[in-house]
Chains A and B, each alone.
Chain A
């Protein structure tokens, strides 16, 4: 029978299947961070259980870490307890941890690929919904809750039910200045935040194949904002080349065997999907979000929606609520939205290519005098690479602050946050109410669009700044 890539990975990881369809799935790779793991380790201790495979588990502190000077440690008491607890748990259960002073430290979804921990055809989980990022390597990667983290630690498996197959084909070429961030925002706008609920999404089409590994990660990363737990892309030569020689990638004979397996990881040509949609890349424009849900997208040429033109009562109320929270007027132009802050970073757009894209726009320019802007590299290695290329100087000369790696203002668990009513052009993934700080207003954009907004002081069209 013809199968999809998701079917193949699923079948290859079935430890057991009950008559009611409930399956026990083997987990090849488990990423752990400080926020969603303490209760799981506590659970293990309380029931006297061990970590079944410490060497299939990798831990890092990312959500709570300060992005300014780290020599004095963490000043926030609760954050410090959480980071210290992770360290103690990793020591007790013999799990490898990248500590705060390790240059490999960074956002969990950036360090996995960087180290070659992320591999095609594997099942990868983490107590974090943006685990979907790793699907760019052709792995089945998804976020889990803390009870499930404990389950994986104890059994190296997960109780799951099979999801539906959903394929999104993007064909054609992206116009100048349009990036994979715009592609995924467009997709979420089209399917809605519940459009992928109960599904695993496979991204396909010649546009997707033409994207770099990092650009693919941006798309898979925001799959969860479209409601699907996992999004994946069939692995190809670009992926294999990226992984070759990474610290945790297979070596020697193992590499050849792995490559042989990875080469067969693709959906059969006649496989049937439960759902399928097509997008034309040529029609996608630079996108922004105007509201408080990732599905609230418009192009930079558009106007903010007017609730009065909405007939559906729920939708109308929802638009009104969002406009009020965001402090926007119906029908105003996207480019008339004045911003206070710019955040470049996160597991969506905190990789080296993202920083290059923003730096290209910022080179020899100054940011607007009323804008406060920060760049938070996704990991210590991204930071180091950027500094070698002189990107840090471009950012600093333009007026950005150059920070230490972490999740930072994507979710504002550390000191980096918006004040009430402050408005931010952000390369992160969620524009929920209060996400970047109580009362803070978030507009999701690509790194180039964030740079353009920083220069202009308003949301602006990145295409005006292309050299």
Chain B
């Protein structure tokens, strides 16, 4: 996984609440057996018309937002299906940081597995930051310091310490869990005695 430390970008702003994972990446693109290549289909139905032409009004089709690394969006971002294709599509497009006032649980957790930082800020701050998108001005994100810097201002955000460590160091959490193999094995041995039906024996 790619490490996440600091990031500077003109943010793109989508002032829509409850953006679901069907919107982020519609089902016809879930037929892939790869993680890559989904960026061109990100927000497909909002981004392209029936003929497959880019819709100019859509922010991510416009310069400089087509190169944004930070996406600001309305609350409850990523609700709906558990598809990890949603963060894969964002990542493939180049977005590695999302700022919203809330996220759906599964999407939130999927972001961290892919080197994407989902930041939670209050609605007021979101409105303030969206002005930087409108004015096409850069903002920067510092994960280590847990802060977003914009103009002469900065605002702090909170992130789970373990998730932060994994992002900063780009850790593979399967490898981390496998280091606890002894504990897993001892749990399984207990389980065989206390709940023998679990192992279908």
Contact = CB atoms under 8 A, between A and B. Distances in A.
Interface of A: 15-16, 18, 20, 22, 24, 26, 28, 35-36, 38-39, 42-43, 47, 49, 52-53, 55-56, 63-64, 76, 78-79, 81-82, 85, 119, 122, 127-129, 142-148, 150-151, 154-157, 159, 161, 163, 193-194, 197-198, 224, 227-229, 248, 250, 254-255, 257-258, 261, 293, 314, 317-318, 321, 411-413, 420, 430, 432-435, 438
A152 B173 CA distance: 11
Contacts of B104: 194, 197, 227
A49 B172 CA distance: 13
Given A24-B180, A250-B197, A432-B23, A49 B83 contact: no
A20 B162 contact: yes
Nearest to A255: B197
Contact of A145 (B18, B79, B106): B106
A154 B26 contact: no
B47 to A, nearest CB: 12
Given A81-B31, A143-B106, A435-B22, A129 B80 contact: yes
B106 A155 contact: no
Interface in B60-85: 74-76, 79-84
Given A26-B187, A26-B191, A430 B80 contact: yes
Contacts of B35: 39, 146
A147 B114 contact: yes
Contact of B82 (A28, A145, A258): A145
B196 to A, nearest CB: 6
Which interface class (under 10, 10 to 19, 20 to 34, 35 or more) fits B?
35 or more
Contacts of B110: 145, 147-148
A151 B177 contact: yes
A82 B32 CA distance: 7
Nearest to B196: A254
B195 interface: yes
A55 B113 CA distance: 26
B59 interface: no
Nearest to B29: A78
B40 interface: no
A197 B173 contact: no
Contacts of A49: 174
B105 interface: yes
Nearest to B173: A159
B187 A144 contact: no
A20 B33 contact: no
B30 A413 contact: yes
Contact of B33 (A16, A42, A255, A432): A42
Nearest to B46: A433
B160 interface: yes
Interface in B15-50: 15-18, 20, 22-23, 26-28, 30-35, 45, 50
Contact of B200 (A55, A224, A413): A55
Contact of A20 (B161, B172, B183): B161
Contact of A197 (B16, B30, B84, B102): B102
20 contacts: A20-B161, A22-B160, A24-B177, A24-B180, A24-B183, A42-B33, A49-B174, A63-B30, A81-B31, A85-B33, A122-B198, A145-B87, A148-B109, A157-B177, A161-B160, A257-B195, A261-B195, A293-B18, A411-B81, A420-B50
Q: Give the interface centre of A147, A250, A435 by most chain B CB atoms within 10 Å.
A: A147
A177 to B, nearest CB: 29
Contacts of B26: 434, 438
A455 to B, nearest CB: 30
Given A78-B32, A413-B27, 4 more contacts: A248-B200, A432-B23, A433-B23, A438-B45
Given A143-B106, A145-B109, A151 B174 contact: yes
A257 B197 contact: yes
A227 B42 CA distance: 23
B79 A15 contact: no
B112 to A, nearest CB: 9
B55 to A, nearest CB: 13
Interface in B124-173: 160-162, 172-173
Contacts of A36: 82-84
A246 B121 CA distance: 49
